Amino acid sequence: MDAGLPHVTVELAPRLTRYPPSYRIRGWWLSRQFNQSGWLACAPGSPRPRIRNLGGWVEAGCCLFSPGVRLEVGPQARLSIGTGTFLNRNVEVIAWQDVSIGQYCMIGWDVLIMDTDQHAMPGREVVNRPVRLGDRVWVGARALILKGVTIGDGAIIGAGAIVTRDVPPGQVVTGPSAEVRR
């Protein structure tokens, strides 16, 4: 059940039973693309969640994925998604070094989380920096979380925010410049 992950808890198993068997079957099919995973559930719809693993490590606890979720992991990179996390429609997570999403996070529609620019500026190298989301983080629709950012436990990222700096635990950030509101 816990697939050997230290952050996977057994308490989510009863929550997965509230999803129809079709969600759990889709989740089982998706879990085969992970290096390690708990019980996964996938909502029906098109396009199906996709994982593009180019030689990295992908792990998840017991999670729910919506249609259109796209996970991309580069060579020797690591992507970790904690138990109870929900990835809504069209969420994209791009890990070329290390992206870690904590437990019980809620990630809204069309969110982009990436630890790389994926291309270099003329005369410069591509620099990848890890991204960390703590536990119980909420991320609003169409937010961007860029490389080198750490978001503390219980933080809320408003819809459309572009997060380029660390967010302390329990803070609310909104607006395109991700200004702290509380």
For 1-12, the pLDDT digits (tens) are 344 444 444 454
Query: Which residue has tokens 């302390």?
Result: 168
In terms of pTM, does the model score above 0.75? yes
What does the CA dihedral 41, 43, 44, 50 come to, rounded to 10 degrees?
-70
Enumerate the domain spans of the chain: 10-180
Query: Could you tell me whether strands 131-133 and 162-163 are parallel, antiparallel, or unpaired per DSSP bridges?
Result: unpaired
User: So what's the architecture of 10-180 in CATH?
Assistant: 3 Solenoid (2.160)
CA-CA distance, 95 to 31, in Å (whole number)? 18
Instruction: Supply the pLDDT for residue 179.
Output: 66
CA-CA distance, 65 to 58, in Å (whole number)? 15
Instruction: Supply the pLDDT for residue 8.
Output: 41
Strand order in the sheet with 112-114: 50-53, 70-73, 92-95, 112-114, 144-145, 162-163
Instruction: Supply the pLDDT for residue 53.
Output: 95
The stretches in the chain having pLDDT less than 70 are: 1-17, 179, 182
Instruction: Supply the pLDDT for residue 16.
Output: 59
Instruction: Supply the pLDDT for residue 15.
Output: 59
End-to-end CA distance of the chain: 39
